[in-house]
Amino acid sequence: MKRSQINSIIQYTMDKLKEYQFPLPPFAYYSTEDWKNLDESEIEIVENMLGWDISDFGGDFKKVGLTIFTFRNGNFYAKEKYPKPYCEKLDFVMDGQTLPFHYHWSKREDIINRGGGDLDVTLYNSDPKDFADVQAAREFKRGTFLDTPVTTKVDGREITVPAGGKVTLHPGQSIAITPGLYHSWQGVPGTGDVILFEVSTTNDDRTDNRFYKASDRIPTIEEDVKPNYLIFADYPKFTKFDFIKKN
């Protein structure tokens, strides 16, 4: 992705959130100088990957993409330092925008439509062999959909849909996504941008996403202009701190 595109996406999202009266914490607006001057008191922002996250999954962002802001998160690799077992994110979906099929090995999440348009969520069970073969997933080998009904909960009510079935979330509604459950979504075209909130267990987007087919989760950035705001993948370059690595 070009840095100019990332700047534009973040600014667009900020403007829309102001329009919908969804406030963000101060670090959402930090400049590169603010990040360079970050001190130990805010190291959690870096180590737990809080803040902006943009992905085009290697394609056309307006068609397939996602804008994320992570408010809080625990850490897989430093549970004594960061014992909180939960994560909260904003997932901003543009009108008609799609998220590719994927599941998580560890993360259990509720996806909540907080306002704007409607969201179609499509579901498949994964093959237990696929779920267990982490190495194959790391090599981007295509996953497997099971042709079996999917059972989950919408607003605490148990529902069952056929393989590949869709669940439409209107503003105020939520769906539970368990580990190993393939899910994709699309902002229903013509209903407007969708403001999703994600409440989950601890999340690490570098290691816990299994895509159905090859997809670049963290973008490679072409620095055509200077950054106005940073995404979490920028932190090691612009701050004195780095992510906590797996032992």
| pLDDT in the model for residue 20 | 93
> Mean of the pLDDT values across residues 37-65?
95
Q: pTM surpassing 0.75?
A: yes
What backbone torsions phi and psi does residue 17 show, to the nearest 5 degrees?
Answer: -65, -35
| pLDDT in the model for residue 207 | 85
Q: Which of 191, 216, 4, 221 is nearest to 113 (CA)?
A: 191
Question: In this prediction, what percent of the chain has a pLDDT beyond 90?
Answer: 83
Q: How confident is the model at residue 2 (pLDDT cuts 50, 70, 90)?
A: very high
Exposure of 100 in the CB half-sphere (CA atoms within 13 A): 21
120-145 confidence digits (pLDDT tens): 999 999 999 887 777 766 666 788 89
Is pLDDT at 178 greater than 90 in this prediction? yes
Residue at token pair 């295509």? 142
Is pLDDT at 23 greater than 90 in this prediction? yes
Is pLDDT at 216 greater than 90 in this prediction? no
| pLDDT in the model for residue 141 | 72
Strand order in the sheet with 109-116: 51-55, 66-72, 86-93, 194-201, 109-116, 174-177, 150-154, 157-161
| pLDDT in the model for residue 50 | 98
- The answer to whether the Cα torsion of 36, 8, 216, 124 is positive or negative is positive
For the domain covering 1-236, report its CATH number: 2.60.120.10
Contact assessment for residue 194 and residue 116, using Cβ atoms and an 8 Å cutoff? yes
Is pLDDT at 223 greater than 80 in this prediction? yes
Mean pLDDT, the chain, whole residue set: 94
pLDDT, greater one: 155 or 215: 155
> Mean of the pLDDT values across residues 84-113?
97
Contact assessment for residue 86 and residue 142, using Cβ atoms and an 8 Å cutoff? no
Return the domain boundaries, the chain.
1-236
What is the SS3 assignment for 34?
helix
69-81 confidence digits (pLDDT tens): 999 999 999 999 9
